[in-house]
Amino acid sequence: MASKQPENSLLSPESDSQRTLYPYVTGTSVVALKYKDGILMAADMGGSYGSTLRYKSVERMKPIGKHSLLGASGEISDFQEILRYLDELILYDNMWDDGNSLGPKEVHNYLTRVMYNRRNKFNPLWNSLVLGGVKNGQKYLGTVSMIGVNFEDNHVATGFGNHLARPILRQEWHENLSFEDGVRLLEKCMRVLLYRDRSAVNKLQIAKITEDGVTISQPYSLKTYWEFSAFENPAQGAIGSW
Amino acid sequence: MFRNQYDTDVTTWSPAGRLFQVEYAMEAVKQGSAAIGLRSKTHVVLGCVNKANSELSSHQKKIFKVDDHIGVAIAGLTADGRVLSRYMRNECINYSFTYESPLPVGRLVVQLADKAQVCTQRSWKRPYGVGLLVAGLDESGAHLYYNCPSGNYFEYQAFAIGSRSQAAKTYLERRFENFTDSSRDDLVKDAIMAIRETLQGETLKSSICTIAVVGAGEPFHVLDQGTVQQIIDTFETAAEQEDPATEPDAATGQEAAAEQGTAADHGGSTDEGAAPMDI
């Protein structure tokens, strides 16, 4: 115990093993949008271990209570920790047994507080979260990052989804999308991510939440096409390429 | 209420299964000046009679805003009431901060009741000597609750607490079936008239009563004296015309109510068998 700093200070070497410094098993993008009856959310089922696509059946979207759906990218173990926090939150909410229940807005704000407070202690939960839901006819879609940045919008995404999916959504999203159009739009985004994000795997789920509840689809794969002529012999015209 | 050997400590039961200290705390509520509350589907109105120690002093504050959607009127030890209001404000603001959503009234009331219960089960504490009429709005509609020093709480369509509250209760009992669909203004008028009942002959002026409203789209606020006086003036003039007709009614009404009153009352001083908090 040669260290001069008290053990419970988070900045001494001994306590470094107590806080998150880098993520280990991570999930990639989550994409979500509001449609006519509620929220549609998509995420693939990959858990990467650095550059290895190690786990291929990770469920990154989970229902929360009666009214919300949570999708997460980033460290999978931290996502599991968040699910435990929310489980306890919903449990206490149910124990009141009084006809009131926490809606997606309340859950989103609770998560924001948790993420921001952890960030302030230099011990973040290494996730970007997407929280969607419907309560009393009101649709809600928001996101929180590991540093506590939070906002609501008609369509949100995490990670690479922000760069590849959001531009597509900005062009093609409109109010009152039908379920089929919404799924088609999400699949378009996920296909682009599959082509261009190296941590994406071709096994995804689409979840929907409406006033009636949550449905998470069975895992399925997207059709891909690799025979584009531009991809054949791509180095042909390149000078000085290796 | 008789002085006896089981009433020194709140943690001592009497052989009849009563906690006298708690019952004495409820007496303190009955001695305070009157407070009334009534609700419709969309609004809740609180009213109270303002007592001042002397003509030179200001009135005691008995109605507190707890949040935009909740307010409380107290009767009894106003100091205890102030402390509990501060607790309620704290709970509301903490909930708002964490969830960006107003605290459901029912939950606040349960937390308040649990806080009061603690004081009935610790030898180093005493029960809070204040009754609270909690008025609030949330997703499930308009609510009016009464919190006792005993730690019990009840939801009401209309209620009155404090001294001479029986007169107001009688007035409210006669009309409460209409309150659900009452308009906001009619509700306020009924509140002022219920207050008038507790004054028993004293002239009703806006300086001796306080009225507060909370409703859908209307955050909790206390009505200013001018507005209240205007409403009083509208029915004082109508009442002058009706006076000869209403007087005999009022007399018989009071007698019938007195009988009803002892049965419906919490039973403290008049009914020796049942303990108040059993109801």
CA gap B40, B158 in Å, rounded: 9
Q: Cβ neighbours of residue A67 under 8 Å, at least 6 residues apart?
A: A101, A102, A103, A104, A133, A134, A135, A209
Q: Which residues of B touch A105 (CB under 8 A)?
A: 99-101
pLDDT in tens, A92-136: 999 999 889 999 999 999 999 999 999 999 999 999 999 999 999
Q: Which residues of A touch B98 (CB under 8 A)?
A: 109-110, 113
Strand ranges, E, within chain B: 35-39, 43-49, 63-67, 70-76, 130-138, 141-147, 153-155, 158-161, 209-215, 218-222
Q: Which residues of B touch A100 (CB under 8 A)?
A: 104, 106-107, 138-140
pLDDT for residue B242 = 53
- Nearest by CB to residue B107, choosing from A96, A103, A136, is A96
CA gap B9, B17 in Å, rounded: 14
Does the pLDDT at position A75 exceed 90? yes
pLDDT for residue A233 = 81
pLDDT grade for B277, boundaries at 50, 70 and 90: low
pLDDT grade for A220, boundaries at 50, 70 and 90: very high
Q: Identify the closest residue of chain A to B110 by CA–CA distance.
A: A96
pLDDT in tens, B246-269: 444 444 434 433 334 333 344 334
As given in the structure block, the two tokens for residue A166 are: 């959001």
Other C-beta atoms within 10 Å of A119: how many? 16
pLDDT for residue A241 = 58
How do A61-64 and A52-55 pair as beta strands? unpaired
CA gap A229, A148 in Å, rounded: 44
- Nearest by CB to residue B99, choosing from A98, A99, A109, is A109
Give me the mean pLDDT over the B159-188 stretch.
Answer: 95
Q: Do A109 and B107 touch (CB under 8 A)?
A: no
pLDDT in tens, B175-233: 999 999 999 999 999 999 999 999 988 888 888 999 999 999 999 999 999 999 999 99
CA distance to partner chain A, nearest, from residue B62 (Å): 29
Task: Report which of B212, B218, B210, B194 is spatially closest to residue B135, judged by C-alpha positions.
Answer: B212
Contact A215, A199 (CB under 8 A): no
Q: Do A100 and B106 touch (CB under 8 A)?
A: yes
Helix (H, G, I), strand (E, B) or coil at B153: strand
Q: How buried is residue A101: exposed, middle or buried, by Cβ count under 10 Å (0-12/13-18/19+)?
A: middle
- Nearest by CB to residue A100, choosing from B97, B100, B107, is B107
How do B35-39 and B158-161 pair as beta strands? antiparallel
| Torsion angle (degrees, nearest 10) of CA A103, A104, A107, A108 | -150
Task: Report which of A82, A70, A189 is spatially closest to residue A132, judged by C-alpha positions.
Answer: A70
CA gap B172, A216 in Å, rounded: 53
Interface test with B, best of A67, A90, A94, A100 (most B CBs within 10 A): A100
pLDDT grade for B96, boundaries at 50, 70 and 90: very high
Task: Report which of A193, A200, A206 is spatially closest to residue A48, judged by C-alpha positions.
Answer: A200
Does the pLDDT at position A167 exceed 70? yes
Task: Tell me the ipTM for this assembly.
Answer: 0.87
Q: Do B100 and A103 touch (CB under 8 A)?
A: no
Q: What is the DSSP letter of B50?
A: P
Longest Cα–Cα distance in chain B = 58
Contact A186, A40 (CB under 8 A): yes
Residue numbers of A annotated as active site: 20
